[in-house]
Amino acid sequence: MISATVIPEPDLEFGWAGRQVEQRRGLMLHGPADVGMEGRKDELRVGVVGPAAYVDELVDWLKACSKGVTRKASRFEDLFPPFPGCSPSLGFLTALKLPKGGQRRLTKQRLRPILAASSDVGRIDAAVNICAEEVRNLHDRECVDVVMVIRPDGVPAGVPEGAATGADFHDLLKAELITTREPIQVIRAATWRGGKGVEDQATCAWNLFTALYYKAGGKPWRLVRSHSLPTRCYVGVSFTQSDAGDELLTSVAQVFNELGDGVIVRGGLAKRSDADRQPHLSDRDAGALLNAALARYREEHRTLPAAVTLHKTSSFSDGETAGFLRARDESGLSECELLWISTRSEHAMLIRGAQYHPPLRGTLLTLNPDEHALYTHGSVPFYKTYPGLYVPRTLGIRPALIERSVEEIAAEILALTKLNWNRARLDGKKPITLLTAERVGQILRHVPAHVTPAPRYANYM
């Protein structure tokens, strides 16, 4: 029998342990989560690479945003709040710095190889080579936390999957600079100029400054800590098509702690099963992937968690379960939960009320003891509306091994949808463990196996 319940919107933690359900409201009331933390930076140093005229425009826009941006005219005031700015006393409580030595202006002569290329693939490759070289030159001359790269005119965002690269400017540039410690932020002129398909300026500022702050090592917000429960990290295991053949896929683990600090680990090849047509790792490779993920986590955070919740984008084979649990025992974890989370809509859909309103975000359907569906996208009481354009779909939750109730698991997934540092509001569908999966895989497919990529998730987002 199908049953439904609504999971309350989980709190997030901000500065001085302040709590709020919504990211922007929490920042405005309490400041970022790392206020008061040892080693927090009081400056956000941003470099810029791009066509000469665009660099000046972007710098001027960033300076204007740092003083605040008025809200969009709308009756939904909580959905479209003003951007408070970015200074020691506003917003992220840090000073925005745009050092002159950190600005690389690309002349028309420097950009000529892009226009001379005879195909979209050639234009993307030329732009990647030019921009990557300029980012490296910038780092040789100036110390910055993040480099913003403006996509030059004439460079398409991407090319079809069947083309030579099968990727886009963003992915290829990230892959080219994947060994550089400082992250980059790709941007296009339409973001600050506005226009069709671009969100209002306050929303753009919220999203961009959140991303910049996180990439610079800041902690905008965090999951609420419980001092009575064991420390927990969250591992996403996903697969990307390998160049070795249609049946082989490269496995990737994305590991996040309660602060949203993420590390990325490449694993072995998975094979698509003849039985269910889903990718699966061998017993040995599953154990090796989780062991490697935990080792990288310990290198970055100098400690291991007591418990792990593992989200996988496909079902668990007996071999994978055995491998992951062996890694649990070898690492001394107290818990290792295994969840198959499907982004495909389950065979159920809710309509709320006679007016056919979308279901509330947080609605959990239990289809049977082993199959559940969660609306992470839906009507949000905090906003007094549904902040989406399309009919919301569910995430499928299929536990392979859990230690807690499904309701606790669902509340945790809801909270993890808020750790999207590119999107500062309550309309995320995927938890951070899955949100990163495709993005990271598409970048790593362009990184040779002998190259050790940067471990921080900030270099991939």
SS3 content of the chain, % helix, strand, coil (to 5): 30, 25, 45
Show the tokens assigned to 317.
């084979």
- Cβ proximity of 436 and 260 under 8 Å: no
* H or E stretch at 286: helix 283-301
Distance between CA atoms of 42 and 29, rounded to whole angstroms?
19
- Cβ proximity of 396 and 370 under 8 Å: no
Say what the pLDDT of residue 157 is.
Answer: 81
Residue ranges in the chain whose pLDDT is less than 50 = 163-165
Write down the pTM of the prediction. 0.93
Say what the pLDDT of residue 159 is.
Answer: 73
Residue pLDDT, tens place only, 407-454: 999 999 999 999 999 999 998 899 999 998 878 988 998 998 899 999
Distance between CA atoms of 395 and 444, rounded to whole angstroms?
26
Place of tokens 């698509």: 272
Show the tokens assigned to 345.
């809509």
Beta strand 222-223 with 232-241 is unpaired
Show the tokens assigned to 360.
């509330």
* Tally of CB atoms within 10 A around 199: 14
Say what the pLDDT of residue 389 is.
Answer: 84
Nearest to 215 by CA among 239, 190, 180: 180
Show the tokens assigned to 433.
């463990």
Nearest to 62 by CA among 216, 208, 199: 208
Show the tokens assigned to 39.
């080693």
- 203 φ/ψ angles, rounded to the nearest 5 degrees: -65, -45
- Cβ proximity of 31 and 221 under 8 Å: no
Say what the pLDDT of residue 165 is.
Answer: 47
Say what the pLDDT of residue 40 is.
Answer: 92
- Cβ proximity of 263 and 273 under 8 Å: no
CATH number for the domain whose boundaries are 222-459: 3.30.420.10
Say what the pLDDT of residue 449 is.
Answer: 85
* H or E stretch at 49: strand 43-51
**Domain 41-215 has what CATH class?**
alpha beta
- 285 φ/ψ angles, rounded to the nearest 5 degrees: -70, -30
The sign of the dihedral angle between the CA atoms of 165, 167, 169, 173 is negative
What's the Rg (C-alpha) of the chain?
Answer: 22
Every domain of the chain and the residues it spans: 41-215, 222-459
Give the angle subtended at the CA of 98 by the CAs of 92 and 102, to the nearest 5°: 135
* Tally of CB atoms within 10 A around 246: 8
Give the HSE-up count for residue 193: Cα atoms under 13 Å, Cβ half-sphere: 12
DSSP letters, 84-116, are ---BTTBTTTSEEE--GGGEEEEPTTTTHHHHH
